[in-house]
Structure 1
Amino acid sequence: MDVKSAFLNGFINELVYVDQPPGFEDPRKPNHVYRLHKALYGLKQAPRAWYERLRDFLIMQGFKIGKVDMTLFTKDVNGDLFICQIYVDDIIFGCTNEKLSHEFGDMMSREFEMSMIGELNFFFGFQIKQVKGGIFIRQEKYCRDPLKKFKMGDCKPISTPMSTNEHLDADVDGKPVDQSTYRSMIGSLLYLTASRPDIMFSVCLCARFQAAPKESHLTAVKRILRPMVPEGAKFELLGYSDSDFAGYRVDRKSTSGGCHLLGRSLVSWSSKKQNCVALSTAEAEYITAGACCAQILYMKQSLLDFGVVCGSVPLLCDNESAAKIAKNPVQHSRTKHIDIRHHFLRDHEGKGDITITGVRSEEQLADIFTKPLVEETFCRLLSELNVLDWSNFI
């Protein structure tokens, strides 16, 4: 649903005065001003006032506010879970009982002036399809815009976003390219990574050269431009953690990669260059696992708002040394140089929030976020991450 003139519904507590509108001045008091009781568009207080009005109304109706996401509201009605997500004046809601959804729409329409848009099909550039096999998201419409903008609509497609033989560096002697065009291409691709985990590593790598892009970097970006979730899985949280030791040739820092699955659904992924230079593969993997642990803790807390309680979450790491460092509280010569903030991982492993578990390198799903892969491995990991071809289910 979409709330009409949402900010005009908010009440403000501050003393705010405005001039009389041109053409509507009071002839008896032409020099007077009006004191506002409700918000107006353009006021800094308007978004907050609207949120507080909506929040108070929903709480009065028995909704609970999310502890992590303050724009999430949930309500349990005789075992049926109702979920309401707010984004300014747009409201997405759903329930396991269709009747409650209709009642919510009627209740909101009585309180606010709004339009009912119907089933969610398109939101923030995402196309959403709800079918019997699950809910699929894609950005096909958004994909066409960059291809058209950068005149690449007729280019021949390719199977992987980056060649395994390609090792990008600063390329000091390379031919410079237009910086604004390069940055525009990177910006378009970064938004695509919200639904395309397969290009996450490649886009993040190319984004590091925006200050002085060369022709070799532009060629890599153009290659990226050329190229959801089934039922039946156990509903549990699982994390994968991996790193590419000293893989970035410019400053020899490692690349962290991680992904998190809820059941068989890939719900979170990341690819990021580490802030410090790791002195060993164990340290690089240990730092990456710490970042994945932080994301797991955030997701566990978020799931509580949906009534889902997670116990000790498995975090799969393919480096045995890193797993042992996380479980062993003793400082020795191989670990004393590791920054103390990275031992955050060890603390939560000891508390039982996560469980560091070994996994074979060929079964490490996070590998796709740390380095270029050959086509066979790339496609296999995409399949195991359940990144599926939308057309096969529609």
Structure 2
Amino acid sequence: MSSMGELTFFLGLQVQQKEDVIFINKDKYVAEILKMFDFATVKTTSTPMEPNKALVKDEEADSVDVHLYRSMIGSLMYLTASRPDITFAVCACARFQVTPKTSHLHAVKMIFRYLNGQSKLGLWYPRDSPFDLEAFSDSDYAGASLDRKSTTRGCQFLGKRLISWQCKKQTIVENSTIEAEYVAAVNCYGQVLWIQNQMLDYGFNFMNTKIYIDNESTICIVKNPFLSFPWISVSCTI
């Protein structure tokens, strides 16, 4: 490959490098999709989705243009590579791409309104930060209104640097919050194990990584000597 100087743009990501920090965002792409879908001048909102209000099938509501809905979802999915703050909301709306209704389109529009007010957010990587691998695991028990499945959520940090995050619906219906939290913990552990192996190639040993879980029963199961993970230490945060 030919040298093109300091990296400033890569696969849609804008990279700003300074002596003490690296900042990655997609504010130009945000401006493009806001203009494309005519949201550049709308009223903004402080959150990407309404709290404590799950999306449902809403079969009695009017249908909306499927192509428009899928186009908006596709644009937002590409943006989640640098915007973990909208990942959960986008994934929730993406589940209704087959027969979207007016309520679903309203939820997608709320994400765009949020982006209009928070277009310049991104990933902040300070130089002066501890270089310890930590992970956080959580689950939204039975949060999917269509099939009552839970949603696995997790993120991994190197010090104060967010390097990986997940938001995915679990494959089976869990019978309890404990079970859903344990599945989320296992998923998080798998991601941590992958990061550990990757970092070994660079000479960094993170074989004693903390995973923070907010469910005491799940922590007890993880610490069971018959089920425990040998390279993980678990902390409780309520």
1:216 aligned to which of 92, 103, 120: 103
Output one character per residue of 1:262-295: Cα deviation in whole Å (capped at 9) or x when no partner.
1110010111111111111110000000000000
Specify the alignment match of 2:118 in structure 1: none
Aligned-residue offset at 1:235: 0.5
1:239 aligned to which of 121, 132, 135: 135
SS in 2 for 1:200: helix
Specify the alignment match of 1:196 in structure 2: 83
Amino acid at match of 1:244: D
What TM-score does the superposition give when structure 1 sets the normalisation length? 0.57
In structure 1, what is the Cα distance between the partners aligned to 2:205 and 2:135? 16
1:323 aligned to which of 219, 222, 236: 219
Specify the alignment match of 1:304 in structure 2: 200
Aligned-residue offset at 1:248: 1.5
SS in 2 for 1:191: helix
Amino acid at match of 2:53: E
Specify the alignment match of 1:287 in structure 2: 183
Aligned-residue offset at 1:120: 0.5
- Answering whether residue 49 of structure 2 is matched by residue 162 of structure 1, we say yes
In structure 2, what is the Cα distance between the partners aligned to 1:294 and 1:129? 31
Q: Is the 8 A contact 2:181 2:215 kept in 1?
A: yes
In structure 1, what is the Cα distance between the partners aligned to 2:207 and 2:52? 42
In structure 1, what is the Cα distance between the partners aligned to 2:196 and 2:167? 21
- Answering whether residue 152 of structure 2 is matched by residue 259 of structure 1, we say no
SS in 2 for 1:220: helix
What TM-score does the superposition give when structure 2 sets the normalisation length? 0.92
Aligned-residue offset at 1:229: 2.2
Equivalent pairs counted in the alignment come to 229
Aligned-residue offset at 1:182: 0.7
Specify the alignment match of 2:29 in structure 1: 142
Q: Is the 8 A contact 2:76 2:90 kept in 1?
A: yes
SS in 1 for 2:220: helix
Aligned-residue offset at 1:132: 2.5
In structure 1, what is the Cα distance between the partners aligned to 2:125 and 2:223? 34
Aligned-residue offset at 1:257: 0.5
Q: Name the stretch that deviates more: 287-296 or 138-147.
A: 138-147
Q: Which runs of 5+ in 1 are unaligned?
A: 4-113, 331-345, 361-394
Specify the alignment match of 1:206 in structure 2: 93
Query: Larger Cα Rg: Structure 1 or Structure 2?
Result: 1
2:125 aligned to which of 214, 226, 229: 229
Amino acid at match of 1:206: C
Q: Which runs of 5+ in 2 are unaligned?
A: 115-123
In structure 2, what is the Cα distance between the partners aligned to 1:197 and 1:176? 29
Higher relative contact order (CA 8 A, sep 6+): 2
Amino acid at match of 2:160: R
Amino acid at match of 1:359: T
Amino acid at match of 1:200: T
Amino acid at match of 2:237: V
Amino acid at match of 1:355: S
SS in 2 for 1:291: helix
Aligned-residue offset at 1:165: 4.0
Aligned-residue offset at 1:329: 5.0
The RMSD of aligned alpha carbons is: 1.3
Output one character per residue of 1:44-72: Cα deviation in whole Å (capped at 9) or x when no partner.
xxxxxxxxxxxxxxxxxxxxxxxxxxxxx
| Superposition pairs of residues 1-394 of structure 1, within 5 angstroms | 3=1, 114=2, 116-227=3-114, 228-329=124-225, 346=227, 349=229, 351=230, 353-360=231-238
In structure 2, what is the Cα distance between the partners aligned to 1:136 and 1:325? 39
Aligned-residue offset at 1:231: 3.1
In structure 2, what is the Cα distance between the partners aligned to 1:186 and 1:307? 40
